Amino acid sequence: MANLHGEVYYPPEEVVARAHVQDWEKLLEEAAADPVAFWEARAKELVDWFEPWERAFDDSNAPFYKWFIGAKTNIVHNALDRHITTWRRNKLAYIWEGEDGTRRTMSYYRLWREVNRFAAILKSMGVEKGDRVTIYMGRLPELPIAMLATAKIGAIHSVVYGGFSVEALAERIEDAQSRVLITADGGFMRGKIVPLKEIADEAVRRSPVVEHMVVVRRTGHEVNMEVGRDYWYHELCQLPVANGTVETEVMDAEDPLFILYTSGTTGKPKGVLHTHGGYQVGIATTLKYAFDLKDEDRWWCAADPGWITGHSYIVYGPLILGATSFIYEGAPNYPYPDRWWRMIEEYGITILYTAPTAIRGLMRFGNAWVNRHDLSSLRLLGTVGEPINPEAWRWYYEVVGKERCPIIDTWWQTETGHFMITPLPVTPLKPGSATKPFPGILAEVVDEEGNPVEPGVEGNLVIKHAWPGMLRTIYGDPERYKEQYWSKYAKQGYYLTGDSARKDEDGYFWIIGRVDDVIKVAGYRLGTAEIESALVSHPAVSEAAAIGVPDELKGNVIHTFVILREGFTPSPELEEELKQHVRHEMGPIAVPAKINFVESLPKTRSGKIMRRVLKARTLGLPEGDLSTLED
Ligand code: WT7
């Protein structure tokens, strides 16, 4: 176990030569000795503050930890305003390519102008500090613009991934009580139009709190526009009110910046809340150290801005560091499987950060698609979202990176805000391991009592000390925050990640996967309960259970077990209808690969479905302890 596959990859000399951090082990030691001092130094070095903090860290009301107490700031000042007075005003902030080949570029100055314009529009709609604004669109430049404009005026954004559908959007609007929704007419995906406006209309019918909808025109197909409620973004931009500049609101370091919903163990998604102060320090530090981002880089984080990866490493992180980012709208294999490689060559991308599932998907098409292109601009590669299998790792390393580019395997979560376990460019790599915790992060693998386990033994992954970019609460539900993350190891004060892991003899971490009712499908995080409640909302379904089943391409796929109501009989047509129903309610990522019609479900005496029994049966594994099984 010490070294799972007997391989260690050492970084090439030219990578080491330019790396920001040279002595990894030494930095780890220093930062571990005093994490607060480490983060405090980064807070001074990497971001500006309107007013300094009185204390860097406060744990007097644990687990409601605070960072940079009393400091005044606004993340948009650091991401945008401060660059406008330097040479960076003319530097490209974003290079964008639409799936249909449309190209747009945006300098820092231009982005700043657009953000001012959008901020003025939001203000004119009555959006004030602390109000929630829901944003639902595809990968367009207007997505970061809308996020930045919201944050600039001190409002809180809640971005809902454009791949989600009606019910998922409706319940997120409802939970956040957003009076404003920003969307687009549609988005392009695999040459087809995703009818975003239509979905938004239906979601707002279910959650009628929305008073105004701003609609970005992307596809140009005809959509319903409700007079007095819906406005075209490009028309609003023409209004006199959309001119001039809007003052960046002075925020307290602990004021909320955004809510991002993620799946947990109940059907109701959790609104993970992040703040202005600590979050900006965490993302800027991790991006700079782990990906060694420099002014001359062209950074491509291929995630969606609608996920935490995009919030931290497409929008705020790269902008704070003044970097140039590339954003691509569409599918990786459209119109041909070399689309990504063509764009890397075309734009001279230097760092690519993506998910193992995307790597496996592209690997399937064979090496010729990659080799057709000059990828010599690449110097670092990254992955996130799920464990990367050694085969995909090696393909990424050899075929894409030509054995020149270290692979930065970053473990983190929506809740953590930024990378938590990750190599730096100088770190010796073992394929499949995210290596060691980032400097200033104290992680451990522990048993049920909270004691560290021996090397090679599986246990719960915990974080032992608070960190600046951590979530502060679950929006509107502080009890759930305490219960979910801090109750299991309350005595020790450890944060429970929900993942299991092993550490090897060298102290390298090997993430195994979720141990709760969360399924990772193609890197997307879904709750079993959400899928189940989507199924049960169909008139034919009386009860449902969902499990994750390992899959070579997607990491996991969803299998469901469904008990039908009286008067309905199993059929392939009904299976298809139920899949379509889940697609309509939740979105394509939640569609089960398989629906099994069953007569009963294994339950505990208290009526909880024992998904682990279903999983064991499906995979032909031992069923484990059945003492709580009712029947
Ligand atoms: C879960 C968090 C953080 C951005 C994307 C996912 C899994 C994440 C890795 C990795 C193994 C990983 C974990 C974690 N995960 N990165 N490098 N190796 N597993 O954010 O949707 O909040 O999911 O993703 O299971 O708990 P998320």
Residue 412, ligand 1, Cβ within 6 A: yes
Residue 414, ligand 1, Cβ within 6 A: yes
Of 581, 579, 627, 618, the residue nearest 598 (C-alpha): 618
Mind listing the pLDDT tens digit for each residue in 168-216? 999 999 999 999 999 999 999 999 999 999 999 999 999 999 999 999 9
Residue 308, ligand 1, Cβ within 6 A: yes
How many whole angstroms from 309 Cα to the centroid of ligand 1? 10
Give Cβ neighbours of residue 308 (< 8 Å, ≥ 6 apart).
260, 262, 272, 412, 413, 414, 417
pLDDT lower than 70: segments of the chain? 1-6, 631
Q: Which residue CA neighbors atom 12 of ligand 1 most closely? A: 386
pTM over 0.85: yes
The beta strands (E) that lie in 483-533 are given as 495-503, 509-514, 518-521, 524-527
β-sheet bridge partners, residue 588 = none
Residue whose CB lies within 8 A of the most ligand 1 atoms, among 304, 384, 427, for a mutation test: 384
pLDDT attached to residue 17: 94
Residue 532, ligand 1, Cβ within 6 A: no
pLDDT attached to residue 6: 67
Which ligand 1 atom is at minimum distance from the Cα of 415? 22
Of 252, 301, 300, 322, the residue nearest 81 (C-alpha): 322
Query: Residue with structure tokens 């938590």?
Result: 420
Of 260, 515, 319, 309, the residue nearest 408 (C-alpha): 309
Residue whose CB lies within 8 A of the most ligand 1 atoms, among 412, 430, 517, 518, for a mutation test: 412
Q: Which residue CA neighbors atom 20 of ligand 1 most closely? A: 413
Residue 236, ligand 1, Cβ within 6 A: no
Which ligand 1 atom is at minimum distance from the Cα of 498? 26
Which letter does DSSP use for residue 239 in this model? S
Residue 386, ligand 1, Cβ within 6 A: yes
Give Cβ neighbours of residue 164 (< 8 Å, ≥ 6 apart).
136, 172, 586, 587, 589
Residue 469, ligand 1, Cβ within 6 A: no
Q: Which residue CA neighbors atom 21 of ligand 1 most closely? A: 525
Residue 385, ligand 1, Cβ within 6 A: yes
Of 563, 558, 446, the residue nearest 500 (C-alpha): 446
Which ligand 1 atom is at minimum distance from the Cα of 434? 17
Of 615, 590, 592, 614, the residue nearest 602 (C-alpha): 614
How many whole angstroms from 360 Cα to the centroid of ligand 1? 17
Q: Which residue CA neighbors atom 2 of ligand 1 most closely? A: 413
How many whole angstroms from 411 Cα to the centroid of ligand 1? 6
Q: How far is CA 80 from CA 55, 108, 316, 473, 540, in A?
A: 26, 7, 9, 27, 52
Q: Which residue CA neighbors atom 5 of ligand 1 most closely? A: 385
Mind listing the pLDDT tens digit for each residue in 269-278? 899 999 999 9
Residue 410, ligand 1, Cβ within 6 A: yes
Which ligand 1 atom is at minimum distance from the Cα of 416? 3
Burial group, residue 9, by CB count within 10 angstroms (0-12, 13-18, 19+): middle
Cα separation, 253 vs 277, in Å, equals 4
Mind listing the pLDDT tens digit for each residue in 433-464? 999 999 999 999 999 999 999 999 999 999 99
